Every structure is written in C-alpha cells, then in structure tokens.
C-alpha cells in the first residue's frame, strides 16, 4: 500500500475512476528457500513478488514455490496418471495442465475441451497427444441429477469403463490426463473405482485433484 501519485475522481455512477500508486516490491526473492509441499496443508498465505511468484510465510519462515517449466512438469509426471474430478474450475485446471504438457497442441479445439463432455481422457507422449477420447454430455446415462448420483450410475460406469479401456497401455514415458465431470461426490467415487480397477494403467502412479462443491 502507498499514497497515490495520481487519481481521477468521478461522481458516483459516472463510470470508472483510476488511481496510480507505488507498491513496494520484494527483493532477493530467489534467495528464499523452497516451501515444503508434501504436507497435508501446504502454505498459501504470502506476498506477490515482481516476477509473479509468491513469497509465502510457512510456520514463521519465508519460503517460495518452485516454478515449473514444461520440461520439469513432464519429467515429474512421466509414467503417471493425473485424474481430475469436478466442474468448470476443475476443467480449467485440467486444460491448463494439458496445454502445458502438450504446448504445440494448445490451440487445437478438440471436442469437449471447454465443455460438453462428462469424461475426457488423454494420453501424452513426448509432448504430443497420442490418444483423445470423450463421453459427450448429451448422454442421458451419465446425467447427475441428485447429490446421491443418478439412478443410472451403473450404466454410466460401464460407459466410462469402455471409454477408458480404449487408451493405449501405460509406459514410463506416457502421461495420462483424465477429467471426470463431477457435480457431486457420488461421481467422484465412481471415478476412483474405475481408476483402481483399470489394469492397463495399474503400474502408474495416480495423482488426484478433486473440486466438488
């Protein structure tokens, strides 16, 4: 916070007003140690630095998160299966990760990427999408009508299983990203059951991201 260098005052209801002020920028940010992330509650409170990263306060000690580039994320996730369940915000996170791991295909408007699918299943190898499958949202068998799940959850589970089984087999160089549209916890439970019983990717390390409200 600071005093404004310039400002424009306007009567209420007359439009937007603008103020310009100096904000103190953190120095020596790169000298901060990396935060410990393998904990139940990673640190989240902190201050925005000039480079767009955060200096976080963890247990009284300042720290920072490591900024990952595409090569780092690929090396970290190779051979793993990243599963995302949730609604619109989860889909945005899934898409962000997809575009990071396959940047050359970021502009490709594939079916269901930004809506219109109950399930999206992608396999990436060497930065290229080698498999892309969806279950479209118009399919009544996967409708989520109540918090307890649809009455046809069994039929939906079969449809999901058939789609997931079309993916190429696991290998140490492949990364799998799967998005389950999940408005309620019941559908997330279905997703976890299907991942656990999928034999073709049984050797993969599974990373789960859940956003259900």
Q: What is the pLDDT of residues 41-87, one digit of tens each?
A: 877 777 777 766 666 765 555 777 777 788 989 999 999 999 999 98
Asked if residue 100 lies in contact with residue 146, where contact means CB atoms within 8 angstroms, the answer is no
pTM equals 0.74
Q: pLDDT below 50 — which residues of the chain?
A: 1
The strand pairing partners of 145, in sequence order, are: none
pLDDT recorded at residue 21: 66
Q: How far apart are CA 177 and CA 95, in angstroms?
A: 9
Q: What is the dihedral of CA 90, 196, 156, 121, to 10 degrees?
A: 50
């Amino acid at each position: 916070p600071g005093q404004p260098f310039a400002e424009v005052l306007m009567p209420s209801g007359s439009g937007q007003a603008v103020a310009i002020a100096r904000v103190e920028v953190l120095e020596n940010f790169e000298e901060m140690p990396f935060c410990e992330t393998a904990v139940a509650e990673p640190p989240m409170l902190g201050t925005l630095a000039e480079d767009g990263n955060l200096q976080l306060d963890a247990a009284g000690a300042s720290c920072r998160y490591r900024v990952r580039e595409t090569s780092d994320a690929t090396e970290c996730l190779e051979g793993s299966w990243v599963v995302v369940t949730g609604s619109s915000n989860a889909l945005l996170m899934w898409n962000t990760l997809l575009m990071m791991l396959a940047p050359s295909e970021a502009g490709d408007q594939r079916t269901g990427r930004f809506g219109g699918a109950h399930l999206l299943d992608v396999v990436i190898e060497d930065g290229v999408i080698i498999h892309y499958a969806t279950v479209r949202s118009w399919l009544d068998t996967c409708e989520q009508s109540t918090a307890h799940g649809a009455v046809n959850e069994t039929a939906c589970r079969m449809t999901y299983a058939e789609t997931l089984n079309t993916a190429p087999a696991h290998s140490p160089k492949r990364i799998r990203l799967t998005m389950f549209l999940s408005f309620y916890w019941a559908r997330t439970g279905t997703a976890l059951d299907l991942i656990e019983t999928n034999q073709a990717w049984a050797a993969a390390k599974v990373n789960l991201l859940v956003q259900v409200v």
